[in-house]
Structure 1
């Protein structure tokens, strides 16, 4: 007899067509039933969906239930964790995935122990990097449903990442809700035979649960009934840990690598990467703020005696995780739910920006006398780039000098006069208090984890440069707009490209799950030919501004009639910075059309067979055409295997002579199009009016989500003002690590602060008085990384405040034999950690420099770096600990 492990569980969507508040009420009563069923032994065990966010909410409302939950978790009857929320694997950054698991495991361990199984039963695709992420948390098993291709029909197999990490994976048959038949039907013979399709003989698994499903209290009786009715299968009430103990040691399991995004057995929703682009922009910005700015700046501040606020950091990461749950991230929700998701993200951004602003101000308060402007480099690598900052002065003209008294040149980008006069009802009685807010750009070189200071001297600097002809340039490119055409000259290769930047717009008769072309479509190439063009050439930053109006069909009916009747005004700003190979891209428009998809299209000289994009900890190469594209209906695919692809931070096409990339600041979807796949199309926005639609061109059959109710989503048309930002790079060769550095520079911003008292409204926090930091600000470049082919995933302080955690990875498909080195300002001890921050082994003690050992393809490595506490710092730390 084949043994079938029946696993009682619930799948608890954090939010969906209902809001988090609706689900929270349901959960309160659901948990009461679960705890009672465990207490009375009507259930042997129960799986609470592998995510801690719902328990976080429940315990905040029911703290008296903590002891009961801890008892059942310790008895291994209630299984919780390891996730905080169940992520969308395809568009969530690697560091955010790590923090999600860290939060979930920490909370679950505090309640008695996390289930160390990578449980993601409903994510829309399985990412190629998940095995090595799981192994970084000592997780050796993974469970999923969607994405398994029919050619890989094994239910149990070894899933391997590019670095060689492997987990035992279980692809559950027919979904996490398949076991409902056990409760609802007396004859389950057909159900059991559907489970038994694997070529390798092993125990089977049958999940018994569903979306917000109530507890099945008669599970014992139902199992006994089915066991008595047949003699081929023996059903037992079980858990995933028990099931993995039964299958992990089975010989003959196949080994598979890569991602699973196939629609042969279940919907995969490849078009969801661009749904609710506004939400993806918010959470991408929040992720960058935390990783690139707040966490490293907090570590630097701790070195200067400023106590870290880890509680605030943890709360922001919880907000990130809640926004990156698979439905929340996908945006396939009601408008009310998506408004909630947007609001949470905006609140978290406000909190993260306030942390950034406070740290910059507090550090600056201890700066040497006479230093007016401070710019920071929060990375482990030396910075040599252009920074932008708005400064406040009494005089409209001023100059800058560095710490050595040398004059520092800069560009003035904009200037405005502001009167801070005390308000009176009679405006004639107001005494003027005029200042000038001036936006400047300048080139700076800053050591790792250090700062540079400038002084303002009023008088004699040039005014805002006038607008010039529509032509700008730097050392890498020249951009000019003439006679309705945009010319891009690549000075390094000598190539000139005519109209390399364009746009296209087509109908979208899909829904919040998937893009689908309109049944009567009309695809429009949106020209820049009629744009008004102005240029402003600077020494450090130059801008080419193209503004105009596109005419689009207002809705699907007008598109079918080929009537372009609604005006969409736009402004495209292309920016060149000195010595920078990234062309800044900034598109603002007023979206007045509905049911359409707008894409940026880069015309490249590359005929492609594969596309490239970053994955959480690597690079994914994917064919430009799915091999099943022409036969997908005939072979029973659930949806068209479209060539739409996800990205985290960049997409790319390249050959032996050129590499073209788009650096994204929230855009998540791209495709290679054209007769020779020489056009890189990036989805900027997609407007649709329904949560789910049935029988679309790309997805036949029932509507996704809710099959019997049409939920209108007018907010998901994304009407009104929209802004999309990023960067365009043309390079001789493809270099994933360098592209990630450029994305970080785009996202980080100027990261400067002005010490001044004349303008208390530069940030909301500027109004509040603070005490000066008693620790004098000095140059303190703790470490320097020189490893150009490695990517810095994160740099932050340890939770104990006595060191740094530096995470690196190799994005390449080949081993880096001599990746580079780490050097330290004074002798340091270095430890190797896992992704959960637990020490694995000592690497070096009391060293000034560390030569990094070879990095395998795709390898992630986390270093703990600890310096001996300096005199005076120990007393300050002890005082904080005493409080």
Structure 2
């Protein structure tokens, strides 16, 4: 007989035993989730953080190898940590993968933890796609919507999560819970608990969990009894204050936090101290399951953007949108080159039989996204971090440019340019590509080789130079595919060196005679091309075109200081500001383009104007004004302001920074010493233009200040609209009652719009992500051009002299009047096209399968914005994405064009992960169509504010 062994009964066991002999259920459960929040770069340069990461993962692997007491670790939701670690420790891949596959290291869903407002919608989609792809190489991506320290969240996040198979969001900023009384604040902007329901503009809902006590509320749990008792007394009360259930969440980690290797012992001590509470070394899926299974209260529903609207406004970190503006400008260009140019052109070439550069595009995207973490793209790190970012931006853009050059050349080689044969052997065809989703007109400039001599042909350098210099450039005109003359300006660039890099030969250097040609391309089809040629026209003088100076009948000049086309009339005032009259509405907008300068004694995170400072403006400053371009296709005026501004803040700012005075309480003023501040502005109107292009340049030598451009609208509206991620967000002009900050600056992507029913004004930008609608009685749109500060801010003193942004700067804006709410979409399309560079390429006279004016496909959908065109990595299907800019359902119609030889076998609805969904049948088109559709089309109903991804299979 085997003797049964029993443990002795302790007093604690007796205390926990009821009269019936059973153990009572635990009253609460503490979920302790181990993690580290890994900012790749911030208060230290990347490589210094990188070396600490290697130490951390080494320690984690050792801990997991020791046994099962240490249950699991969440790797901060970003797979780039794996890349960074294995770059140094490649031999640890098998060991790392083992723990990922058995669920003890949880990875994904993102590639990096990005900022939400300063990165494009497509960049966020690529981030999710790449994160999933990389995670699948090691195991299963976590389905956790993880935003621990993101500086506010965009309204479309719930829809993006659900389309990624994620039904939850964990976040640290954007909503402030009400607190003790568990009541909802005005209009549902606040949450009763740390758990809430978050609803996007399309109606998508996810469970939201706010780190109300931050993502470090379970950090460094004590093991010794006295410290542990004190720790848990505070931590339990803090979590219970906000939690909606008895499932309490504790995040065991913080920024760059090493793992707590004695956590199992700390948990055992907690269990001894609080026997009625279950302490679990948990993970997010288990916590979510417990949370949903023990719901006790109805949760608040928070709708739309989470931007900390109901706070005092001093800690929202919104002014990271204007810190180191040069980074935002480089990011805008980098994103546009990848998502709006390189991918569409590569897709175009792929459909013509070329290989799609999946790996190259992924590499370019990864390099770009390495600049997207919040402490990187927000410009709120030490100077070394942002120097390295510039290199990454360049690297990613160079890849995009190489792919664009390759794809456009391949497509051009298949365009039939033989129509220009009749102009002789020196006809020079050129092709303009429109990679936006709408028909486009605009001024295009490119360099063109009039003639070449290759070194391989045996010419001496002297012979090549002589022949090139003798090339006759006279009597040449630009013509379109129909032979119609197109007004242009041609600048002789003289003798130039160049080279080809053939795929099958050594490099081929040449000498050429090059010209720069500028003209207006009209009605280039959406996702298509249009062909022109620079040809000789004997006996026809083109002197006027070469000079760019035209007769009064052709000019867009209106009176001495005006511009006018069929849409707009512009008058420039003595102070360099201008007024725009929208001929369609008769509405005139006055005093546009005045500059404002104020002091800034804040930091990279937040702007703080010195108390009682009166803003300086160019309102009363007379500008030098002159015409610098006057052609048939465009007129441009230059305005120069010779201004003075204070050279910096006064000496008190340095002392306040060293004493770590919280920036809202600083008393520093601006220096009495003044320095010159010359601003050059060029405003332009093109023949077909629906907006005024404005370029501002200056050499900033002043410190501790902010420069903005002002655009009074004089429109009556309590709200305005701003372009955000896959959304036109509606925001109040006047902040909530809780807001105390005198500044109400906010984020934008492509544009901001103030509208009435019958009139509106859009101000579009290139990489200028900060604006404010002023409470000045005129609803003025103020766009931040530059913010110059000298410290990082946050938890200590980190001087950042390069954040003063000294040196040359250039900024581009477009001011677009429109008819009002009902017609705003047309202005938004103009603003979106403003973001996208034209692509143009020179080619030869040759036959081809593509017509000289050609497009891939046609689509139609009122209120829809076209977002992307790419090829799926696995299926090879063409993937297209739109989003509904409106709150009304609409219809998407999609078809091949008559000029396209392509046909589609099937169309299906997808999601942002490009997973195949419902298939749609094509229908035959009967009668005329308002778009150039071929014989059949697909029709899809699109919901309000819906993000729609479509797959096309050939």
Match of 1:291 in 2: 339
TM-score (norm 1): 0.88
Work out whether 1:320 is the aligned partner of 2:368. yes
Match of 2:444 in 1: 387
* Cα shift at 1:555: 0.7
1:791 paired residue among 852, 865, 878: 865
Could you tell me how far apart the structure 2 residues matched to 1:128 and 1:857 are? 13
* Cα shift at 1:480: 2.8
Could you tell me how far apart the structure 1 residues matched to 2:104 and 2:398 are? 41
Work out whether 1:723 is the aligned partner of 2:750. no
Match of 1:212 in 2: 256
Work out whether 1:162 is the aligned partner of 2:201. yes
Work out whether 1:746 is the aligned partner of 2:746. no
Match of 1:118 in 2: 145
Please say if residues 786 and 822 of structure 1, whose CA atoms lie closer than 8 Å, have aligned partners that are also in contact. Answer: no
**Range with bigger deviation, 357-366 or 819-828:** 819-828
* Cα shift at 1:488: 2.6
Could you tell me how far apart the structure 1 residues matched to 2:280 and 2:581 are? 69
Work out whether 1:624 is the aligned partner of 2:725. no
Q: For 1:730-784, what per-residue CA distance to the aligned partner results, in whole angstroms no more than 9, with x for missing partners? A: 1111456434422332232331112379xxxxxxxxxxxxxx9998887663310
* Cα shift at 1:197: 2.1
**Range with bigger deviation, 784-793 or 56-65:** 56-65
Please say if residues 11 and 49 of structure 1, whose CA atoms lie closer than 8 Å, have aligned partners that are also in contact. Answer: yes
Work out whether 1:597 is the aligned partner of 2:706. yes
- For residues 67-466 of structure 1, the aligned pairs below 5 Å read 67-149=94-176, 150=178, 151-180=190-219, 182-183=221-222, 185-187=227-229, 188-198=232-242, 200-249=244-293, 250=295, 252-262=298-308, 264=311, 267-367=315-415, 368-369=417-418, 370=420, 372-393=429-450, 394-397=471-474, 398-404=476-482, 406-412=483-489, 415-420=491-496, 435-458=513-536, 460-461=541-542, 462=544, 463-466=546-549
Work out whether 1:23 is the aligned partner of 2:49. yes
Please say if residues 391 and 440 of structure 1, whose CA atoms lie closer than 8 Å, have aligned partners that are also in contact. Answer: no
* Count of equivalent residues: 819
**Inter-CA distance 114–736: structure 2 relative to 1 (3 Å threshold):** farther
Could you tell me how far apart the structure 2 residues matched to 1:48 and 1:802 are? 32
1:830 paired residue among 904, 907, 921: 907
* Cα shift at 1:820: 4.6
**Range with bigger deviation, 248-257 or 34-43:** 248-257
**Range with bigger deviation, 616-625 or 137-146:** 616-625
Match of 1:64 in 2: 91
Please say if residues 155 and 171 of structure 1, whose CA atoms lie closer than 8 Å, have aligned partners that are also in contact. Answer: yes
Work out whether 1:608 is the aligned partner of 2:717. yes
**Inter-CA distance 715–24: structure 2 relative to 1 (3 Å threshold):** same
Please say if residues 399 and 407 of structure 1, whose CA atoms lie closer than 8 Å, have aligned partners that are also in contact. Answer: no
1:571 paired residue among 665, 680, 691: 680
Match of 1:875 in 2: none
Give SS of 1:852's match: strand
Please say if residues 417 and 434 of structure 1, whose CA atoms lie closer than 8 Å, have aligned partners that are also in contact. Answer: no
Give SS of 1:853's match: strand
Match of 1:523 in 2: 615
**Range with bigger deviation, 673-682 or 25-34:** 673-682
Please say if residues 19 and 336 of structure 1, whose CA atoms lie closer than 8 Å, have aligned partners that are also in contact. Answer: yes
Could you tell me how far apart the structure 1 residues matched to 2:388 and 2:168 are? 34
Please say if residues 51 and 82 of structure 1, whose CA atoms lie closer than 8 Å, have aligned partners that are also in contact. Answer: yes
**Range with bigger deviation, 845-854 or 41-50:** 845-854
Could you tell me how far apart the structure 2 residues matched to 1:746 and 1:624 are? 25
1:680 paired residue among 781, 785, 796: 781
Could you tell me how far apart the structure 2 residues matched to 1:861 and 1:420 are? 47
1:843 paired residue among 906, 920, 933: 920
What is the root-mean-square deviation of aligned Cα atoms in Å?
2.7
Q: For 1:209-266, what per-residue CA distance to the aligned partner results, in whole angstroms no more than 9, with x for missing partners? A: 0111111011111111112112453211000111111123536333221122227499
TM-score (norm 2): 0.82
Please say if residues 704 and 790 of structure 2, whose CA atoms lie closer than 8 Å, have aligned partners that are also in contact. Answer: yes
Q: For 1:661-718, what per-residue CA distance to the aligned partner results, in whole angstroms no more than 9, with x for missing partners? A: 11121011111114325211011110000111xxxxxxxxxxx1x33xx211111011
Please say if residues 376 and 452 of structure 1, whose CA atoms lie closer than 8 Å, have aligned partners that are also in contact. Answer: yes
Work out whether 1:500 is the aligned partner of 2:595. no
Please say if residues 861 and 893 of structure 2, whose CA atoms lie closer than 8 Å, have aligned partners that are also in contact. Answer: yes
What are structure 2's unaligned runs of at least 5 residues? 1-26, 179-189, 421-427, 451-470, 499-509, 551-556, 652-667, 925-934
What are structure 1's unaligned runs of at least 5 residues? 423-431, 633-639, 693-703, 758-771, 868-883
* Cα shift at 1:449: 3.2
Match of 1:538 in 2: 631
Could you tell me how far apart the structure 1 residues matched to 2:222 and 2:324 are? 37
* Cα shift at 1:448: 3.5
Could you tell me how far apart the structure 2 residues matched to 1:562 and 1:712 are? 19
Give SS of 1:341's match: helix
2:59 paired residue among 11, 29, 33: 33
Match of 1:876 in 2: none
Match of 2:641 in 1: 548
Q: For 1:247-306, what per-residue CA distance to the aligned partner results, in whole angstroms no more than 9, with x for missing partners? A: 235363332211222274994312221111111111111111111110000011112232
**Range with bigger deviation, 748-757 or 188-197:** 748-757
Please say if residues 372 and 454 of structure 1, whose CA atoms lie closer than 8 Å, have aligned partners that are also in contact. Answer: yes
**Range with bigger deviation, 587-596 or 841-850:** 841-850
User: Could you say which structure has the larger radius of gyration?
Assistant: 2
**Range with bigger deviation, 680-689 or 220-229:** 220-229
* Cα shift at 1:385: 4.2
Give SS of 1:580's match: coil
**Range with bigger deviation, 272-281 or 618-627:** 618-627
